[in-house]
Structure formats: C-alpha cells, structure tokens
A and B are shown apart, each in its own frame.
Chain A
Amino acid sequence: MTNAITLAGVTKTFGAKRAVDSLDLAIPAGSVCGYLGPNGAGKTTTIRMIMSIIYPDSGTIEVLGKKSAVESKDRIGYLPEERGVYRKMKVGDFLTYIARLKGADQGGALTKRIEDWLERVQLAEVRKKRCEQLSKGMQQKVQFVATVIHDPELVILDEPFSGLDPVNARLLRTLIGEMRAAGKTIIFSTHVLASADALCDRVFMINQGKKVLDGPIEGIRAKFDPKTIIVEPMDPGADGVFTGALGAIPGVHSVTSMSDRGAVYEAHLDNDADAQTVLGRIAAGLAIRRVELRKATLEDIFVSLVDPGDSEDSIRAALKADAAEQVGV
C-alpha cells in the first residue's frame, strides 16, 4: 500500500517552543486517520506543514508522491481549524471561486457539482444567498463543501466537528464515510473521540510535539486492552456477597463497583488470564443479567497517554501560577 503522506524527522520551532519534534509519520492511501492530541500538542502546526502553509525547520514531507503539498495542492481538500467565508459573497460564487482556485474548470459541470453538494448537506436553497445570511452551522457546512468541491484525493479536516450540533455532526460522519467508500484518504484532528472511534482505520497521537501513538485502531485497542469484564448480577443482594463470589473466580484479580451505574461491577483480570475463559466461568458460575468484555475506547487510551499536566490549559495555569509566585501574589 502506498502512502498518501510521509513525514520523516519533521521538526518545527517557534521561538523557544518546539511545536513539533522529530515527527515520523506514514498515512496509507485510502485510510481514514484520526489525529489526536491535547490542545497545543502541535496538531495544527503539523497539518499546516503538510499543507506547505508553513515549512519545517528540518525533516522531509511527501504528499501524494510529491516533495511537498505545493505541487499537489489541487489534489488536496483542507478544512482548517481557523476557517471562514467571504461574508458578502453569495454561497454559489464562493464555492465556484474556491473550486476554481483548486483547479476546477468553470462551467455547467461545476455548477451542477455545487448544486449536488449543497443538496447533500441540506442547503439546496442557499446558493444565491450571501454567506453572511447563513447561520454559523450552515456556514460550517458551506466550508466543508468548499473543502471537497474539487473532488480531492486527500482530505485533511482540522477539528471538523467543532461547533456542529449532533444532527450536523452525524451528517458529517456520514459524508466522511461516503468519501472513505470512494477511496479517498482522510485525516482529521478532533477532540470528539467518539467520532474518531467510529470513523478511523488508524489513529496517531502527539503530545508536546512528539508522537506517542500510531497504528491501526484495532491493533491499538488490543495493545491497550483493559482486561476488564463488566458484570451486572441478576439479584444484587448484599454487596459483599456478589463481590466475593466474583473475586473468587479463577483469573479475576480484583473487583470494583461501578457505583454510578447501580449494581454493576468491573472484574479486573490477571495479566496472563484468557478473557474468553474467564467470561465463560462467570456466566456459568454466577446468576447474572449481563456480562461484557470491556473494549478500550480512544478516550481511555487518550487519557492514559496524556498526563493531565500536558494539556494546554494546565500548562497555562501552571505558568500563571509561576508568574504569580514570582511577583509574590
């Protein structure tokens, strides 16, 4: 499988801050990749370097087989985190302008494609309206259409779900799914980990400019297998009785109560225990309503990899506290 994007030893520094540090990355063509990381981790900087909007201090970037995105910009659709529209322009004119900047020919075919896309995002009636007449959510859908109107091979979406209501977020997920089915390569950065969980073939994560995770999502899930079984007893009875019975099953290391969900327990397994075997023992030996092998979610993985102190908010708070200490406040 060829790579749509390859980064090798990419580093970018702003003043004293190293935003991206020796990043190696390979995005296979045709895959849907989630790009995760806490605020300020270097995601947008990486994407801007991939798009040749800014340039790395060192390292190389190949995009769609070219030495940089400059040579393949027309084959890429990019939805930046900081996105906008020409407020006074009509929606149809705006989309035509952006499409033509991306190399699309003006004419009936482009007009038809614009109409089709607007219909797909449920905005068929806005083509002749000025962008400033649209709601924020509608403008975001227009921005998405502007990203894909020229039918790119590679689509890069920086926080595409930001600001979307649940209905439009679902619509966007559907559209991404359709593009995946059409063989496009899609990269998106997001904090909506449920969306990444549902859509991605692969994920990669950076923290403080360094890559901390990279690979197919199933492999990552296996690697971060929580080795936990969720059990709901038929009759909760006395709390200690069920917990004792569950803890006595071979392969179960410890039991904790999920007190926020009523009488539901987590059985944490021994490292060498086979989850399927233990699952069978629980089902055979205890009166239970439900038993489930817990799957690792991206949220679990994210939280386990990112120290709370690494988030941008935490860093800012720490810096502020330092400054306050220095002035004796």
Chain B
Amino acid sequence: MNKIILTAIREFKATALTPAFLFGAVILPLVIWGVLGAAGAAGLFSQKPVPTTGTIALVDPTESGRLTELVEMRLSPEAQQAKAEAMKEEARKQLASLGGALGEQMGEAAMARADAIFKFDAADITVERLGPGADLEPVRDRVRAGELLGLFEVSPGTFEPGGSFISQLSESAKARDIKLIENAVADSAVDVRIIDAGMSAPFVRTLMSRPRAEQKTLTAAGGETKGSELLQRFLPIAFLMFLAIAIFTGGGYLLMSTVEEKSSRIMEVLLSSMSPMQLMTGKIIGQGFVGLMLLLIYGGLGVFAAIQFAVMDLIPLSLLVWLVVYFLMGYFIYAAINAAIGSAVNEAREAQALQGPILGVTILVMYLGIFSVMMSDNPHSTLARALSFFPPATPFVMSMRVAYVNDPMPTWELAATTAVGVLGMIASVWAAAKIFRVGVLMYGQPPTIVGLVKWLRYT
C-alpha cells in the first residue's frame, strides 16, 4: 500500500506541481479574465460609434402626412435617447432576475457598463416626405449617389395586417442606422393603423406591454425558492463539462506519464520495487487527484457563482455527491484505457494511433448523450436511458440526467446504472492491469487494438 501511495504522490507532484500545469489550469484563466477586466477598465470596449447625419426619403401615402410626422418624432434625438434607456433598463431587470447579491450587482454593473459603452449620441436624420404619386427614379439616383441614406416606399397596403414596405438603401448606410430607421417606419405604420381605428396609439401600446413571469420553485422540504430557468438549462451541460475536463485531463496526463516511463526506460527499475498492478494503481490514483483538483477548482468556481446568484438552494447537495461519484466512475474507466495504451507503446505518436478509435467512440458517446438529454430536453428519453447502461457513456449521460433537479429519475434506475457503471469500471481496471503487465516490458512494434485484446489472454 505504501508503494502505491508513494507512486500516487510522485505522479501528482510530477503533474500538478509543474509550472506548465499551474500556468495552464490556474494562472491562464485568471490572466484571461484579468486582461479582459483591465481592457474594460481602460475603456477599450467604450469606443463610441460616430453618429450618422443624413436624410431619408419617405413615400407617405397618408393625406395629412401623419406617417412622416410619426417617423420624424421616432427619429428625434429625444426619442432615440428614451428608447436606449428603456433597453438598458430591460437588460438590468434580466440580469437582476438571476437573483442574489451578485445578480443585483451585475444588473447595476451592466447599467454602468452600458452607459459607458453606449454613451449615446443620437443620429441626426432628416425625413424628406414624398407624395404617393411622386417620380421615384430621380430619388433612387440620389440614393445611389449617396446623397440620401435611403428611400422607404410605404403604400396603403403597408397599413393592412401582414403588410410590408420597401426599403432601398445607400451602400454607405450603416446597419445600426438601417435598423433604427426601419423600426421607426414600421412602428409608425402600426401607430397609423391604431389611429385609423380610432384609438390612442400610446394607450394601446401601454395595454400591449407583456407581464414578466416571476418563477418560484416549491421545494420538497415545504419551502419556496426563487426559480431560475437559466439554471435548469445551464446545470446539466455545466456538469458534463466539469466532468469531461476532469476525466480527460487526468487520463491524458496518465497516458503521457506512462509513455514517458517506458520511453525513458525506467519502467524496469520501478518493477523491481513493486508489481505492475501496484505501479498502475498508484499512477491512476495520482492522476485521479489531478483530475479531482481540476474538478474542485472549476466546480468550486461554479458553486461560488451559484451562491452569489442565490441559486445554491436549487442545487441539492446530493447532486454534488453524484458529480464526484460519476467523476470517479468515468475517470477510472478512461484512466484504465489510457494506462493500457501507454504501457503498450514506445512513444506518444504511437499512443495517438491507438487512441484514435477509442477517442472516436468517446466523442460519439458524448454527442449521443448531449443529443439524447439536452437536445430533446428530456432526461428520460429512450436513448438517454439506454446509454446510461453503457459504462463508457454512463458517467456523462447520468451526470446530465441527475442535473435535471426538477425531473428526477426513479431510484431503481439510479441504483442500476450506478451498479453497471461500477462493474464497467472494475472490468476496465482488470483488463488494463493485464495489458499493462505485458505491455510495460514490450518494446518494438506497438500492437494494434486486436493485439491488445490478445494480451488479455496472456497468463
């Protein structure tokens, strides 16, 4: 046991306590966030667009020129400013709805950022009214010449339900201005409809404002928490990502360290001190702690964010326990495969050739898992349930399925899939141990996948 622990400690230190690892796993993410923060603080994201000054031509079929008045009013600097303020307020409310102190802070911060970034300079756009029978060809020539920003042809049909208008633009027109003008024309056309129906346009628009849903979740314990649809959508995919990063990072390092021990010819020195099974177990455990550390770092950040958004009470503690269980299950299955491959080859290039088919199956399994659970938004789909009983897929699919906290699966299924996963894990380690014992002393031509299977029969 002592030798297994010594090997595990060496593996962990040789991997996790290296500048490359610390840089890649810890420092680099912090640096990226730091650079983004510094760039924001320096105002690099606050470059103001130059406000447009120009004229549009509007074919106004109303006798009184009411449409033109409404469009002019909507394009006035005051109206533009008021609309921008309303959009910012809506964004603030959306962010605040995430909940918790951080949600409120983010809402306020977003407002401040929006003020800084979109310090609003309204476009100065003049409207030139054309009557219904006007000759438009000379006007189009002016648009082509860039003298006008655009020509907007509104017909009586525009005011009918499902109506449209023609927007003919100068090549120099900017997307931001086009959107502004087209919205102004469209909204004004709706106002004309409302007024023609004998109603007050502002009154009707007030009536049309949609109420917001304030979600709450009634917990099994009898309380209630603030609901978050965002969380429900985010949690399963977050679980999958945490798991995949932790499993494949630890497994990848295990493969590389095994190949290194073979290529540097130290394997036999180690085997003179311990059995191949002890060596492999120590290596798997050591690299497992590397994966677990990554899981704790990234998962810890996730938990921190959940606490700050005050949605932690929506994530049962049992879910975090399951995350660790599925990590161990997935890690041991894939680490065993990597250890077996690493023992069979002489260098990293040969390992990649053997890894190819296994990587293909793994990616397929993960995509099928995501498709069966996330795309269908149904953790109980037939494909998801079938994949849960296929050990290489069990950890990934089940980690997503259990993350549907509002749609729990039957206890028997949870127990049965766990049992199958654990059996798969034991079988993987057993097979890997047999291959590892033969492979570590084999040099020369690396085996194929079929060759590896043959090694299982060696006594």
Contact = CB atoms under 8 A, between A and B. Distances in A.
Given A53-B272, A101-B6, A102-B273, A83 B14 contact: no
A189 B136 CA distance: 103
B264 A87 contact: yes
Contacts, number: 58
A73 B14 contact: no
B441 A101 contact: no
Interface string A70-83: 10011010101011
Contacts of B273: 73-74, 98, 101-102
Interface string B1-33: 001001100100010001000000000000000
Contacts of B272: 51, 53, 73, 76, 78, 80
B275 A70 contact: yes
Given A86-B264, A143-B269, A73 B274 contact: yes
B268 A101 contact: no
A97 B265 contact: no
B274 A82 contact: no
A123 interface: no
Contacts of B14: 86, 88-89
Contact of B265 (A48, A70, A82, A146): A82
B275 A80 contact: no
Interface in B405-459: 441, 443
Interface residues of A, number: 25
B109 interface: no
A101 B18 CA distance: 22
Interface string B236-267: 00000000000000000000000011001111
Nearest to B13: A93
Contacts of A48: 268, 441
A180 interface: no
A227 to B, nearest CB: 44
B269 A98 contact: yes
B271 interface: yes
Nearest to A70: B275
B270 interface: yes
B332 to A, nearest CB: 23
A138 to B, nearest CB: 15
A163 interface: no
A86 B6 contact: no
A80 B272 CA distance: 9
A194 interface: no
A73 to B, nearest CB: 6
A164 B268 CA distance: 20
B286 to A, nearest CB: 12
B269 A146 contact: yes
A155 to B, nearest CB: 11
Nearest to B459: A55
Nearest to A51: B272
Nearest to B263: A84
Contacts of B10: 97
A30 to B, nearest CB: 21
A80 B268 contact: yes
Contacts of B264: 84-87
A305 to B, nearest CB: 28
B441 A84 contact: no
B408 to A, nearest CB: 47
Contact of B269 (A70, A76, A80, A89): A80
A101 B270 contact: yes
A84 B266 CA distance: 4
A101 B266 contact: no
Interface string A92-121: 000001101110000000000000000000
B266 A85 contact: yes
A304 to B, nearest CB: 32
Contacts of B6: 97, 100-101
Most buried by A among B265, B269, B272: B272
Contacts of B267: 82, 84
A89 B275 CA distance: 22
Nearest to B10: A97
A296 B18 CA distance: 57
B437 to A, nearest CB: 9
Given A53-B441, A54-B441, A101-B3, A83 B275 contact: no
A101 B9 CA distance: 12
A86 B266 contact: yes
Nearest to A150: B273
Contacts of A84: 264-267, 269
A83 B268 contact: yes
B2 to A, nearest CB: 8
A113 to B, nearest CB: 17
Interface string A117-140: 000000000000000000000000
A70 B18 CA distance: 33
A241 B350 CA distance: 71
Nearest to A76: B272
Interface string A10-51: 000000000000000000000000000000000000001001
B269 A53 contact: no
B454 to A, nearest CB: 12
A302 to B, nearest CB: 26
10 contacts: A53-B271, A54-B441, A73-B274, A82-B267, A82-B443, A84-B267, A86-B264, A87-B264, A97-B6, A101-B273
Interface of A: 48, 51, 53-54, 70, 73-74, 76, 78, 80, 82-89, 97-98, 100-102, 143, 146
Q: Which 6 A-B pairs have the closest CB atoms?
A: A84-B265, A78-B272, A80-B268, A84-B266, A84-B264, A101-B273
